[in-house]
């Protein structure tokens, strides 16, 4: 697998480490689905998407470097591996909204958007679970 060594490094992950990363993403998705506050649902859905990408990349023995722009690269690689442009498109919308919320005084998130985001993350995680449990890197 081709990767940008500015954002990723080769590192051998044990199956237990990959599983821990996957469970971390699933836990965040569960919180997003169960909570009633839209901002909380959005924050946890976005976090689940990024953690899902980290889990999938760890399966392929890639460690994410924590540098500026790494979320963009996680989303990009996630979409590429899953062969799903919606992951990149919607993932980047989520990332932009998260940035507006953090750096520009907040972002309004609607219930419809949150449900769309949660569906996307849920679909991605189902695909990732299939890859991790059915295949070898």
Structural domains of the chain ordered from first start: 14-134 (1.20.120)
In eight-state DSSP terms, residue 105 is: S
Q: How many Å apart are CA 136 and CA 110, to the nearest integer?
A: 39
Q: Residue 38: which of 119, 108, 122, 124 has the closest Cα? A: 108
pTM (two decimals)? 0.92
118-130 tens-digit pLDDT:
999 999 999 999 9
Residue 128, number of CB atoms within 10 A of its CB? 22
Q: Residue 89: which of 112, 68, 72 has the closest Cα? A: 72
Residue 17 has pLDDT above 80, yes or no: yes
Q: Mean pLDDT over residues 1-15, rounded?
A: 85
30-62 tens-digit pLDDT:
999 999 999 999 999 999 999 999 999 999 999
């Amino acid at each position: 697998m081709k990767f940008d060594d500015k954002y990723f490094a080769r590192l051998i992950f044990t199956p237990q480490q990959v599983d821990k990363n996957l469970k971390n993403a699933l836990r965040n998705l569960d919180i997003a689905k169960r909570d009633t506050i839209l901002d909380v649902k959005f924050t946890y859905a976005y976090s689940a998407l990024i953690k899902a990408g980290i889990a999938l990349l760890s399966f392929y023995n890639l460690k994410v470097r924590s540098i500026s722009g790494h979320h963009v690269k996680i989303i990009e690689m996630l979409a590429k591996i899953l062969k799903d442009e919606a992951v990149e498109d919607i993932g980047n919308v989520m990332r932009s909204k998260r940035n507006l919320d953090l750096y520009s005084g907040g972002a309004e998130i609607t219930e419809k958007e949150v449900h769309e985001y949660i569906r996307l993350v849920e679909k991605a995680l189902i695909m990732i679970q299939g890859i991790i449990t059915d295949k070898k890197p």
